[in-house]
Amino acid sequence: MHLIIYGSEGSGKGTQAKLLSGKYRLGIITSGDLVRNEALTDANHLGKVCQDALESGKYVPDEEMFNLWSKKLNSREAKKGFILDGFPRNVHQAEFLLSKVKESGYSIDRVIYLKIGDEEAIKRLSLRKRQLFAGSSVVHDTPERIKSRLSVYREKEKDLLDFFRRKKKLTEINGEQEIEKIFQDIVTGLRDF
């Protein structure tokens, strides 16, 4: 099974991905981990782009994200099944993803959208106080950084949801419920496809 879990930061994607990973024995692949790893391990152009994005609170541009994802999506591990968390974030990335997985001999089965409002996202993220990257003294989740990232996310959200809705791959879930209820709604949604 190849799943995408989608929603704004703070929607509970990571929590639900872990629960789904346990139930269906799927690996989790996140954009954030790919970007943070590249920022820490690559001193060349791509690592610098990732580092700059982390420091500014902005997203890594598409072409660089495609470089990060291309190798990962064609791996043996990915072909067995996965849950993608944090990718794709826009229609251009979604088209790249569907093309790349088709090229690799599999397809995306379902996109699970966890819907929450900005107020709830800001409240949840402000409690996390994550560091920008390991060893950094800069807090990643200040209200200003959160609002900036949510604003960029919301600009692309509607088009991306419409894209997957047209492909009949979208399951929408109320992400402002209790964790267990959200999980049950997702499992029920996956039974129906």
Would you say 154 is a known binding-site residue?
no
Q: Is 135 annotated as a binding residue?
A: no
Tell whether 183 is in a known binding site: no
The answer to whether 25 is a known ligand-binding residue is no
184 is annotated as contributing to ligand binding:
no
Beta bridge partner(s), residue 3: 83, 110
Tell me if 86 is assigned to a ligand binding site: yes
Q: Would you say 21 is a known binding-site residue?
A: no
Is 13 part of any known ligand binding site? yes
Pairing of strands 2-6, 170-174: unpaired
10 is in an annotated binding site: yes
> Is residue 153 part of an annotated ligand binding site?
no
Binding residue per annotation — 11? yes
Tell me: is residue 117 an annotated ligand-binding position.
Answer: no
- Ligand-binding annotation for 115, yes or no, is no
Are residues 9 and 147 in contact, defined by beta-carbon separation less than 8 angstroms?
Answer: no
* Residue stretches of the annotated binding site: 10-15, 31, 36, 58-60, 86-89, 93, 128, 130, 149, 177
* Residue stretches of the annotated binding site for ATP: 10-15, 128, 177
* Residue stretches of the annotated binding site for AMP: 31, 36, 58-60, 86-89, 93, 130, 149
